[in-house]
C-alpha cells in the first residue's frame, strides 16, 4: 500500500516557539493532504485540507494564522504550529489522498503521527 | 448531536468471544462508510469498507443500514491482537469531508 511519512515523530518544545511538521507521500503523488489533531481519548478532528498549489481550507474553529499549512509539492505538506502553547500539545496526524480518477472516494493513507508536547 | 457517534466502550471480552460495535451518523447524505482500527499511539488503518449489502472479511463483518443511519462491526472469535480502538468513519462526497467517530476501545483478554 501507499506510504505516508511524518517528521518528526515526536517533539518537545518550550511555550512560544514554532514547530514544523512534515508530511510526505513516499510512493505516490497526493493532490490533497489532510491534517488531523487528536487529543487523548478523543476522536481525530480534521483541522484542514491541504491542496497542492493553493491555500488550505481550514475547519471551523481552527486558526489559520496559528496553524500554517504549506503544500508546496505533490509529495509534501507541512504544518507549522506558531507560538505553541501547552494547550496545543496533541497528536497530529496527516493523511494523503491517492486521488485516483473515477472513484467516489479514495482511501486515505495516514502518516504515523507526530506527538507534540509544549512545556 | 455529534455527526458520528459510537458505543462508548471499553469492551472487555475473553478470547474467542463475539463482539459487536455500532455507530450512528446524522447526515443522511453521507456516502461512504468505513471502519478503521487504531492501535495505541499509532495512526488509524483501514479495516474495511461498509456497504449496504454487508461485507465480510474473515472474522470481521460490517453492515450498513441507511434507513436507520447506522453501521455495525461484528468480530467473531476474538483474538488478543484484536485489542485496539475501532473508529467509525463517514465521508460525504462532494465536500470530501471525512468524519471520525470517537472510537470504541476493545480489550481482548486471555
B52-97 pLDDT tens trace: 888 999 999 999 999 999 999 999 999 999 999 999 998 876 545 6
Give mean pLDDT, residues A52-78.
Answer: 91
Quick one: pLDDT band at residue B44, thresholds 50, 70, 90?
confident
Question: Measured between alpha carbons, how far is residue A25 from residues A32, A33, A62, B25, B100 in Å?
Answer: 11, 9, 24, 30, 22
pLDDT at A89: 94
pLDDT at B110: 94
Alpha-carbon span A98 to A33, nearest angstrom: 9
Alpha-carbon span A91 to B39, nearest angstrom: 13
Q: Residue A7: is its pLDDT beyond 70? A: yes
- The answer for A 51-90 residues in CB contact with B (under 8 A) is none
pLDDT at B95: 43
Residues in chain A with CB shorter than 8 Å from the CB of B44 are: 44, 93, 110
Give mean pLDDT, residues A16-22.
Answer: 97
In this structure, what DSSP letter does residue A75 have? T
Scan for cell 453521507, then name that residue.
B30
The tens digit of pLDDT for each residue in A55-66 reads 899 999 999 999
Which residues touch B37 (CB under 8 Å, ≥6 apart)?
Answer: B44, B45, B47, B84, B85, B86, B87
Cβ within 8 Å, pair A43-B42: no
Q: Give the whole-number percent of chain B exceeding pLDDT 70.
A: 95
Alpha-carbon span B87 to B100, nearest angstrom: 7
pLDDT at A104: 47
Interior angle at CA B75, CA B74 and CA B79, nearest 5 = 170
Q: Tell me how close the Cα of A113 comes to any Cα of chain B, in angstroms.
A: 6
Q: Closest to B100 (Cβ–Cβ): which among A44, A104, A111? A: A44
Mapping DSSP to helix (H, G, I), strand (E, B) and coil, where does residue A88 land? helix
The tens digit of pLDDT for each residue in B13-43 reads 999 999 999 999 998 888 788 999 988 878 8
Alpha-carbon span B44 to A78, nearest angstrom: 20
Cβ within 8 Å, pair A113-B99: no
The total number of residues shown for chain B amounts to 110
Q: Is B8 exposed, middle or buried (0-12, 13-18, 19+ CB in 10 A)?
A: exposed
Alpha-carbon span A105 to B89, nearest angstrom: 12
Residues in chain B with CB shorter than 8 Å from the CB of A93 are: 43-44
Q: What is the Rg, in whole angstroms, of the alpha carbon atoms belonging to chain A? A: 14
Best residue in A3, A5, A43, A57 for a mutation probing chain B (most B CBs within 10 Å) = A43
Q: Give the whole-number percent of chain A exceeding pLDDT 90.
A: 55
Q: Tell me how close the Cα of A114 comes to any Cα of chain B, in angstroms.
A: 10
Q: Tell me how close the Cα of B31 comes to any Cα of chain A, in angstroms.
A: 9
pLDDT at A106: 58
Give mean pLDDT, residues A32-52.
Answer: 86
Residues in chain A with CB shorter than 8 Å from the CB of B91 are: 105
| Closest alpha carbon to B35 in B19, B51, B46 | B46
- Residues paired with residue B78 on neighbouring β-strands, in sequence order: none
Amino acid at each position: 500500500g501507499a506510504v505516508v511519512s511524518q517528521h518528526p515523530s515526536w517533539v518537545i518544545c518550550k511555550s512560544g516557539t514554532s514547530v514544523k511538521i512534515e508530511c510526505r507521500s513516499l510512493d505516490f503523488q497526493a493532490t490533497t493532504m489532510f491534517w488531523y489533531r487528536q487529543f487523548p481519548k478523543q476522536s481525530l478532528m480534521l483541522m484542514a485540507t491541504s491542496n497542492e498549489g493553493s491555500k488550505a481550507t481550514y475547519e471551523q474553529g481552527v486558526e489559520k494564522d496559528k496553524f500554517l499549512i504549506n503544500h508546496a509539492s505533490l509529495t509534501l505538506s507541512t504544518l507549522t504550529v506558531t507560538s505553541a502553547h501547552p494547550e496545543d500539545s496533541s497528536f497530529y496526524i496527516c493523511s494523503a489522498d491517492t486521488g485516483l480518477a473515477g472513484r467516489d472516494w479514495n482511501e486515505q493513507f495516514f502518516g504515523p503521527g507526530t506527538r507534540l508536547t509544549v512545556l | 448531536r455529534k455527526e458520528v457517534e459510537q458505543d462508548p466502550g471499553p469492551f472487555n471480552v475473553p478470547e474467542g468471544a463475539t463482539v459487536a460495535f455500532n455507530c450512528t451518523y446524522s447526515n443522511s447524505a453521507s456516502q461512504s462508510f468505513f471502519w478503521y482500527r487504531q492501535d495505541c499511539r499509532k495512526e488509524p488503518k483501514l479495516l474495511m469498507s461498509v456497504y449496504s449489502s454487508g461485507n465480510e472479511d474473515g472474522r470481521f463483518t460490517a453492515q450498513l443500514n441507511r434507513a436507520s443511519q447506522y453501521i455495525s462491526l461484528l468480530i467473531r472469535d476474538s483474538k488478543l491482537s484484536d485489542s485496539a480502538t475501532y473508529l467509525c468513519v463517514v465521508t460525504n462526497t462532494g465536500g470530501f469531508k471525512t468524519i471520525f467517530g470517537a472510537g470504541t476501545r476493545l480489550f481482548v483478554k486471555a
